[in-house]
Amino acid sequence: MTDKILTVRMDAHPSDSHTLSRYLATGGYEALTKALYDMSREDIIEEVKASNMRGRGGAGFPTGVKWGFLAPTEPRYLVVNCDESEPGTFNDRQLTERDPHQLLEGIIISSYALGVNHAFVYIRGEYPKAARRLQRAVDEAYEAGYLGADVRGSGFSLDVTLHLGGGAYICGEETALLNSLEGRRGEPRLKPPFPAVEGLYAKPTIVNNVESISNIPWITTNGGAKYAAIGPERSAGTKMLSISGHIAKPGNYEIVMGMTWRELIFDIGGGIPDGKALKAWIPGGASAPWFVPDEHLDTIVSIDDVAANGSMIGAGAVVVMDETTNVVAAAHRIVRFFAHESCGQCTPCREGTSWLEAVLKRILDGNGRPEDIDLMLDISDNISPGLKWPPAMTTICPLGPSTVSPITSITRWFRPELESMIARSEVAIG
Amino acid sequence: MMSVISHWSLENQERAQSILASYPVKRSALMPLLYVASLEHEYVSLDAMREVAELIDITPVQVQSVATFYTMFRREKVGDYLVSVCTSISCHLNGADDVLAAVEEATGVASGETAEDGSVSVEHVECIGACGGAPAVQINYELIEGVTPDKAEALIKWLVDTRPAVLLADEMQQLFGGRRSFDWGPSEFEGAMRPVPAFGPYGSAGGSALEGR
């Protein structure tokens, strides 16, 4: 059984996996030739549907189904989301820096299948190296006739434009990204209309994540059924997981889902450094509710199993915290992030995130009040009524509800620690 | 339309032109043009915003509304070296606050401030996607991973003493970094010359003269 798709080339050829010559020498652009000459556009879309690949950007919506929603009017656009900014996530950076042609071939095949003649890659401004590597790949591809007018004599034409962001997490949300790409403030749009109907310049647009698109050449070559056969039924294929925090072997791991969290953290990640005990981990980036060892070590690493346990795999960021972690300080860091990144459109998020940050800060500073726990839960309930999972929303996008995750996590799993921190404040204030 | 930037360097005028040509709707060029304009003007000045507005046929206040949304468009001059210390969750868990303190100490500049001589600006930033190599620092957006307080101090001393014209991530990583998020692959000879992301089409990547070094 195949256990790696995306990282094979970079592992085998660390010195030049990003170059066109190495890409060609390892079977690169053969999938494109197959797509252009042996497959119809519909065939490709059918293979992607058959792959059951769920979008790798966080929401987990099946890529082929999304493609099926694309309205037939022209022009249409493909926008690749490389605005990877979820705290804990760094796998798109590796895929873009280390194998940019794999991403680019995915873009070309996808554009052909979707009837797109101009694709954009939105790269976060803090990733200049990824942007340089991908731009070099784009330049090489134009030169070799994989981009531009009449791609490899097929009659299909495609231009690719790279676009750097300006340091705003919210632009990873697809409609905020589209606004940003249009030269506007990165504020999410109300949906519907969905981008597939009215996206970039109000034209039909598919927005896909880097990892999703990087899988397209393999799916084109090997067929959707083969991809669907990898891993658990509703978590098909491989997934890049970024593991960081208090972990012996941090890094990106391309895994087949279906193992337990115990195996992931202790076998693959090498466990907790310095013989310390595991206190908690975030299974899917800063937006996700935390897991704790007593409850979740034997939970399965899959999109559905994590969701059934009240959290998410998201974009695949696992952040591990050892026994020495001050969970209130950790929650404050995450809440501070969302308060900083709130776009300000929706009142519950704009006001709520800042208040949550302020209350956590005063608890950390030794000025906590006994009513602060209820106050934080009340603010959280205004942002995401009912405090359930998946979160209810009072806002246009999920950023606000994401802020609630660390709050419900520490109040649920570490309430005594939070209470004793507040109690110490009481004594200090006297 | 291009006459509004006729006082820009020829190179930057050409960059602006090719950026405008790469979008079907010219307003999309706004952010890239702000990067080019900030090279031309050292930062996103009022003049820069007026010029960009004219290039894409919108009003200056519309440009300002966009520029102020994003943290990377600097509306004041920052130091020659912008030191960004990540203090988000994974870096925080691995001691980023101590790295930030060491940077502030070594520069004499508090986070959010610029040295009086204009050499260095310091800021703490949210996640920069280097969590596997935490704690991470960027100098003019070029990444160094696995930075300790001692290494951070040495890095600042190196910056101030040698005042490198081009910042190469690989070189800085080798000198002052530690554990990385992943194997970066081979060395690169392009790097940052200014506190603007070093990306060729925006005119901000330098160091090709170092090719083969």
Hey, is A303 helix, strand or coil?
Answer: helix
For B33, which residue in chain A has the nearest alpha carbon?
A183
Mark yes or no for CB contact B132/A131 under 8 Å.
no
Neighboring chain A residues of B49 at a CB cutoff of 8 Å: none
- Give the DSSP per-residue string, A38-72: H--HHHHHHHHHHHTPBPTTTT--BHHHHHHT--S
Q: How far is CA A54 from CA A62, A282, B14, B212, in A?
A: 4, 20, 42, 43
The least confident of A53-67, A100-114, A165-179, A186-200 is A53-67
Q: In 3D, which of A51, A54, A5 has the Cα closest to residue A307?
A: A54
**Of all residues in chain A, what percent carry a pLDDT higher than 70?**
99
Angle, vertex CA A121, rays to CA B32 and CA A401, nearest 5: 95
**What are A377-392's pLDDT values in tens digits?**
999 999 999 999 999 9
Measured distance CA(A120)–CA(A106) in Å, rounded:
13
- In this structure, what token pair is assigned to residue A99? 């194998």
Whether residue A107 contacts residue A148, with contact meaning beta carbons closer than 8 Å, is answered with no
Mark yes or no for CB contact B181/A250 under 8 Å.
yes
What's the predicted TM-score (pTM) here? Answer: 0.97
**What are A315-339's pLDDT values in tens digits?**
899 999 999 999 999 999 999 999 9
Mean pLDDT over residues A221-230, rounded? Answer: 96
Q: What is the pLDDT of residue A242?
A: 98
Mean pLDDT over residues B90-94, rounded? Answer: 98
Mark yes or no for CB contact A165/B199 under 8 Å.
no
Q: Collect all residues with Cβ–Cβ distance below 8 Å to A347 and sequence separation of at least 6.
A: none
Q: Which of A129, A181, A337 sits opposite B88 (nearest CB)?
A: A337
Look at strands A118-123 and A77-82 and give their pairing: parallel
Q: Which of A14, A132, A252 sits opposite B132 (nearest CB)?
A: A252
Alpha helices in A324-414 (DSSP H): 327-341, 347-364, 372-383, 399-413
For A176, which residue in chain B has the nearest alpha carbon?
B69
- Give the DSSP per-residue string, A237-299: SEEEEEEEES-SS-EEEEEES-SBHHIIIIIIS---GGGPPEEEEESSSTTSPPB-HHHHTTS
Query: What does the DSSP 8-state code read for residue B167?
Result: B
Neighboring chain B residues of A252 at a CB cutoff of 8 Å: 132, 181-182
**What are B108-142's pLDDT values in tens digits?**
999 999 999 999 999 999 999 999 999 999 999 99
Whether residue A90 contacts residue A207, with contact meaning beta carbons closer than 8 Å, is answered with no
Mark yes or no for CB contact A166/B192 under 8 Å.
no
Neighbours of A232 (CB within 10 A): 16
Q: Which of the pair, A29 or B2, is modelled with greater confidence? A: A29
**What are A173-186's pLDDT values in tens digits?**
999 999 999 999 99
Look at strands A159-164 and A118-123 and give their pairing: parallel
Measured distance CA(B81)–CA(A202) in Å, rounded:
40
Measured distance CA(A338)–CA(A355) in Å, rounded:
11
Half-sphere exposure of B151 (CA within 13 A, CB side): 19
Whether residue A342 contacts residue A187, with contact meaning beta carbons closer than 8 Å, is answered with no
pLDDT range class, residue A429, cuts 50, 70, 90: low
Mark yes or no for CB contact B89/A84 under 8 Å.
no
Hey, is A33 helix, strand or coil?
Answer: helix
For B94, which residue in chain A has the nearest alpha carbon?
A245
**Distance linking the first and last C-alpha atoms of chain A:** 65
Round the CA-based radius of gyration of chain B to a whole number and report it.
18
Neighboring chain A residues of B186 at a CB cutoff of 8 Å: 14-16
Q: What type of residue sits at position A152?
A: R
pLDDT range class, residue B184, cuts 50, 70, 90: confident
Mark yes or no for CB contact B27/A286 under 8 Å.
no
**What are A138-184's pLDDT values in tens digits?**
999 999 999 999 999 999 999 999 999 999 999 999 999 999 999 99
Half-sphere exposure of A321 (CA within 13 A, CB side): 26
Mean pLDDT over residues A175-198, rounded? Answer: 97
Q: In 3D, which of A56, A58, A51 has the Cα closest to residue A212?
A: A56
> From the candidates B27, B90, B168, which should be mutated to test the interface with A, based on the most A CB atoms within 10 A?
B90
**What are B17-56's pLDDT values in tens digits?**
999 999 999 999 999 999 999 999 999 999 999 999 999 9
pLDDT of A49 above 80: yes
pLDDT of B209 above 60: no
Burial grade of A62 (CB within 10 A; 0-12, 13-18, 19 or more): middle
- In this structure, what token pair is assigned to residue B107? 């520069």
- In this structure, what token pair is assigned to residue A9? 């080339």
Shortest Cα–Cα distance, A225 to chain B (Å):
31
Measured distance CA(A252)–CA(A268) in Å, rounded:
10
pLDDT of A1 above 60: no
pLDDT range class, residue A424, cuts 50, 70, 90: confident
Mark yes or no for CB contact A184/B66 under 8 Å.
yes
pLDDT range class, residue B186, cuts 50, 70, 90: confident
Hey, is B77 helix, strand or coil?
Answer: coil
Q: What is the pLDDT of residue A189?
A: 97
Mean pLDDT over residues B153-178, rounded? Answer: 96
**What are A263-296's pLDDT values in tens digits?**
999 999 999 999 999 999 999 999 999 999 999 9
In the predicted model, what is the mean pLDDT of chain A? Answer: 96
Q: Residue A193: is the preceding peptide bond cis (ω within 30°)?
A: yes
- Give the DSSP per-residue string, A162-176: EEE--S-GGGGSHHH
pLDDT of A131 above 60: yes
Q: What is the pLDDT of residue A112?
A: 98
Mean pLDDT over residues A205-210, rounded? Answer: 98
Mark yes or no for CB contact B31/A94 under 8 Å.
no
Mark yes or no for CB contact A131/B31 under 8 Å.
no
Q: At what angle do helices B46-55 and B60-67 cross, to 10 degrees?
A: 120
Q: In 3D, which of A235, A292, A226 has the Cα closest to residue A258?
A: A235
pLDDT of A57 above 90: no
ipTM of the complex: 0.97
Q: What is the pLDDT of residue A2?
A: 55
Neighboring chain A residues of B141 at a CB cutoff of 8 Å: 125-126, 128
The order of strands in the sheet holding A317-322 is A251-256, A238-245, A317-322, A278-282
Measured distance CA(B149)–CA(A16) in Å, rounded:
33
Q: What is the pLDDT of residue B213?
A: 37
For B197, which residue in chain A has the nearest alpha carbon?
A128
The order of strands in the sheet holding A159-164 is A159-164, A118-123, A77-82, A205-209
**What are A345-358's pLDDT values in tens digits?**
999 999 999 999 99
